[in-house]
Amino acid sequence: MLNVFAQRFEDMDEVHRAMLAAIIQTPEPADLHDLIRMTYGLDSIPVIPAEDYAEVGEICIDDEMLPLIERCPEELLPLLDREKVGKRMAEESGGVIVNGFYCEVGEYEVPDIQFEINVPQDVFFRLRIGPDTPDGALRSQWISLPCPTDALDHVSDDGAPVKSLCCYEYESALPQLTWNMTGGMEQIYALNALTHHLSCLCHEDFVKCKAVMEAERIYTLEGTQELMKHLGEYDHDPAVSDFDDYAEKYLSQSLPEDFDTTVLQEAELFDLGGALLGRKHGELTSYGAICHGELYSTITPQQEQTENLEEEMGGISQ
């Protein structure tokens, strides 16, 4: 979770970092989830370059940003105390000066974004299993996967083979992989083997796995097993929540280093982001942007011709 916030913060320019610092002051984030949510929706915050309240007051007077200024006779405007006007503006608009920027955060609302980023634990699946009898649920017990194979062999008190038992409840760390799609108790050993592969994944790759499963519509145990062989072929960015995010990040990495990226903050990038991600054959998921290949590599006409040729010849099925 901390890595997600760190990535979001690293991708911000100095203006957005100032906005974030301003809204963190009021209200203070309750937890890391709130802090991550505060990195979204920042473009709704009015911001102007200003080192102090006197500069804010000067801009306020020039643009008549307060009703009081609008009613003030023009000949009296030069006599107004710029600093007091700036502070009055800040009080009425919830303005804060941070790192050379005046940010009006009074009306900012933290977006109600729901996201799930689970840290891989020692347990990936939990099953409540017992005899396939009328009173089997009463005699059932919970087991956790992964577990040693010999433990599975002797899970039943009466020595019954584990495959002959019935699963009464099932919990999965992979939302796409429901019990009906695992193959049932006949595949309990294969399911346990999968968890050993999952145990080897770092946090980032575990989240990537869930993103690929959602994007590629992988619902079966066999499909998940196959994914383990190809997970490294995918590029994943958990910090991307919409097409605007993707377009801005794609352009910021593709444009010259001295390009003023603040221009991008004022542009409508949603359609462009959708088009770019579409050309990448990528998708937005509950866990960020994902694609088979590189998310931010340059798109060239030659690449498009190659992709079209592969499609005409059948291509490689993903």
Burial class of residue 245 in the structure, from the number of CB atoms within 10 Å of its CB (0-12 exposed, 13-18 middle, 19+ buried): buried
Over the stretch 276-290, which tens digit does the pLDDT of each residue have?
999 999 999 999 999
- Residues 306, 315: Cα–Cα separation, whole Å: 10
Supply the pLDDT for residue 37: 80
Q: Where are the alpha helices (DSSP H) in the chain?
A: 2-10, 14-25, 32-37, 53-63, 67-71, 82-93, 149-153, 188-199, 203-215, 221-230, 243-254, 270-279, 301-313
User: 41 is written with which tokens?
Assistant: 């929706």
More confidently predicted of 2 and 297:
297
User: 306 is written with which tokens?
Assistant: 């190659």
Supply the pLDDT for residue 309: 43
Over the stretch 30-74, which tens digit does the pLDDT of each residue have?
567 778 888 888 888 889 899 999 998 888 878 777 676 776 777
Closest CA to 2 of 275, 203, 227, 279: 203
Would you place residue 188 in the very low, low, confident or very high pLDDT band (cuts 50, 70, 90)? very high
- Residues 271, 5: Cα–Cα separation, whole Å: 25
Query: Is 120 in contact with 130 (CB distance < 8 Å)?
Result: no
Would you place residue 86 in the very low, low, confident or very high pLDDT band (cuts 50, 70, 90)? confident
- DSSP assignment, residue 269? -
- Which of 10-14, 285-289, 312-316 tops mean pLDDT? 285-289
Sign of the C-alpha dihedral, residues 310, 312, 314, 318? positive
- Residues 129, 60: Cα–Cα separation, whole Å: 70
Q: Which residues pair with 162 in a beta bridge?
A: none
Per-residue pLDDT at 2 exceeds 70 = no
Supply the pLDDT for residue 308: 53
Would you place residue 293 in the very low, low, confident or very high pLDDT band (cuts 50, 70, 90)? very high
- As a whole number, mean pLDDT of residues 120-128 equals 81
More confidently predicted of 245 and 191:
191
User: 216 is written with which tokens?
Assistant: 């590629």
Q: What is the DSSP string of 194-224?
A: HHHHHHTS-HHHHHHHHHHHHHTT--SHHHH
| pTM score, whole prediction | 0.58
